[in-house]
Amino acid sequence: MDTFSIEKPLRYYDQVYNSIREMIVKGTLKPGDSIYEARIARELNISRSPVREAVRALEKEGLLEIDEKSRITVYKPTMKDIEDIYQCRIVLESLAASLTTRLATKLELEEIEDTLIKSSEYLEDYCEEKRDGLIKENARFHDLIMKYSQNKRLKKQLKDLKSLSHYYRVLNFQGENREWNVFNEHQEIFTQIVNRDQEKACEAMQNHMKNDLIHLKEMFGTSNNLDKENMPPFSRMV
């Protein structure tokens, strides 16, 4: 007998969460923009409960901010915050690369390599329409290295940074030849992992993260207050 399956409709919470998150990451909602729970609920013709739940989840992830007067606004980057996030990522992800170099099985290495194969396919005749797919494989590369580090405490620390890491990952793909620079750096990291050279894998990941940070700081300039006018043009990223 054939097996039947159906797609369960997403809960209102999931739909609201995914919609707001995507609008923030893609720049439809700009840093500092206000979010109104009542307006969202009214426009979607749903109760405020799933909207409130989604907003609280996004606040916890750092993409929304709620002040002392309960006003909700989109996360507004500062140069200090960018530096703080990348300082954490440099330490955590270089450790993950070192551990994965030592512990990953052949099949797990093949799974990491698959992200590079798919990335290279997206880079053939590269265009804006392929950007989302390339960014997805970029994220999967980092996620798999974290996964195969086999350190659950490390995974938790990186998971707490996941949404903001993705926010900056999308920004990081803006700029001439950025997609190729990122791809080549991933290849170097993977080469050292396959060679089982923990020190060089760690170093390659550190260099990759530092180059991302340098690129972001160049994009934003030296302003400590990154308001809407100073933000890079998101429309070119998606």
pLDDT for 130-172, tens place per residue?
888 999 999 999 999 999 999 999 999 998 899 999 999 888 8
Q: Indicate the domain borders of the chain.
A: 12-74, 79-236
- Are 205 and 61 in contact by the 8 Å Cβ rule? The answer is no
Of 197 and 69, more confident: 197
pLDDT of amino acid 196: 98
Average pLDDT over residues 18-30: 89
pLDDT of amino acid 171: 87
Q: Which range, of 70-74, 120-124, 232-236, averages the lowest pLDDT?
A: 232-236
Architecture of domain 79-236: Up-down Bundle (1.20)
pLDDT for 70-111, tens place per residue?
899 999 988 999 999 999 999 999 999 999 999 999 999 999
pLDDT of amino acid 27: 83
Work out the number of other CB atoms within 10 angstroms of the CB of residue 163: 19
pLDDT of amino acid 129: 85
pLDDT of amino acid 230: 47
Query: Any residues with CB less than 8 A from the CB of 29 and at least 6 apart, and which?
Result: 20, 23, 35, 74
Q: What is the CATH number of domain 12-74?
A: 1.10.10.10
Q: What is the mean pLDDT of the chain?
A: 88
pLDDT reading at 223 higher than 80: no
pLDDT of amino acid 229: 45
Report field, pTM of the whole predicted structure over 0.85: no
pLDDT of amino acid 235: 34
pLDDT reading at 119 higher than 60: yes
pLDDT reading at 2 higher than 90: no
DSSP assignment of 87-150: HHHHHHHHHHHHHHHHH--HHHHHHHHHHHHHHHHHHTT--GGGHHHHHHHHHHHHHHHHHTT-
Task: Note whether 12-74 and 79-236 share their fold.
Answer: no
Average pLDDT over residues 65-71: 91
pLDDT of amino acid 176: 83
pLDDT of amino acid 7: 52
